[in-house]
Amino acid sequence: MIRLKNGGQMFGVCLLSVLLMSAPGCLENSSSSGASGLFGPCDSFDIGLNNSTNESVVSEFDGATSEVSLLISHAADGLNPTCYSIVIELDHVLAPKHSDNFRTHSQLGNFDNTGMHRIIDDFMIQGGDFENGDGTGGYAAKWYGICDGQAMNQSECPDQTHYNVPDEADNGLAHTSCKISMAKTNYPNTGGSQFFIIPEDSTPNWLDGVHTVFGTVISGCEHITTISEVATGLGDRPVYPVTILTATASE
């Protein structure tokens, strides 16, 4: 069986492959971007421990949409961090498995204190590698019928680190501004935990039908644009860390 981890060799293969395992999508207009997202010095936020849910009690959300709030930190000078609050609305109708996966990772606390490891101006910001933190790791939050990119019985899959989410890329959702989409390798059905968010000034619509869009930033998309413009170095990694402090799912 070919080992296709959701992060390793992800978003960094070629321009399209680069967009594959850890790539993003396209943009439409900024009408969906919320201007109400909060930001300011991180010490002005009440950043407590995110009370993550025990895996045994996480159940699939049964509504049409749910929300996940991200609190993201970055210090442009390397010393004084600014915190940005954004809210993502997940589409459980058109991308049920991806939305459930992202929501479950958030409930389990898997995204807390993880980095946005790849940032490309005018394109996207990518994160979600809670396993290795560098774009080479991550896996699905639960069993969705896919192991190493192949449909099989759960008993045949070695362990959860091989779990993937099946593609839902033909759901009619396009890679437009302020959308969130799943990163994966250049093979089908290899999404796991890595995702990318598209800023207001990005239009990579060549990702439509390849990567699965599963939600929209409904508040604070201007902060995604700000973060997409941070200084980066080798491998499009931010010079100073961009960190998801907490990811909190709505009730």
* CA–CA distance, 36 with 243 (Å, rounded to integer): 20
Is the pLDDT reported for residue 163 higher than 60? Answer: yes
Phi-psi map region of 159: left, alpha, beta (phi>0 left; psi -120 to 50 alpha): beta
Q: pTM of the full predicted structure? A: 0.86
How many CB atoms within 10 Å of residue 107? 24
Q: Could you tell me which of 30, 87, 20 has the C-alpha nearest to residue 201?
A: 30
Regarding the domain delimited by 15-45+63-249, which CATH topology (the fold level of the hierarchy) does it fall under? Cyclophilin (2.40.100)
The C-alpha atoms of residue 238 and residue 243 are separated, in whole angstroms, by 10
| 118-120 vs 124-127, strand pairing mode | antiparallel
Q: What distance lies between CA 85 and its chain's CA centroid?
A: 15
In the chain, where the domains are located:
15-45+63-249
- pLDDT tens digit string along 3-16? 333 433 333 333 33
* pLDDT tens, residue by residue, 32-55: 334 456 888 888 887 766 666 666
- Number of other CB atoms surrounding residue 143 within 10 Å: 13
Q: What is the pLDDT of residue 43?
A: 84
Q: Which residue has the higher pLDDT, 159 or 11?
A: 159
Q: How confident is the model at residue 190 (pLDDT cuts 50, 70, 90)?
A: very high
Alpha helices in the chain (DSSP H): 15-18, 96-107, 221-228
Residue 11 DSSP SS3: coil
Question: What is the DSSP annotation of 177-198?
Answer: TTEEEE---SSTT-B-S-EEE-
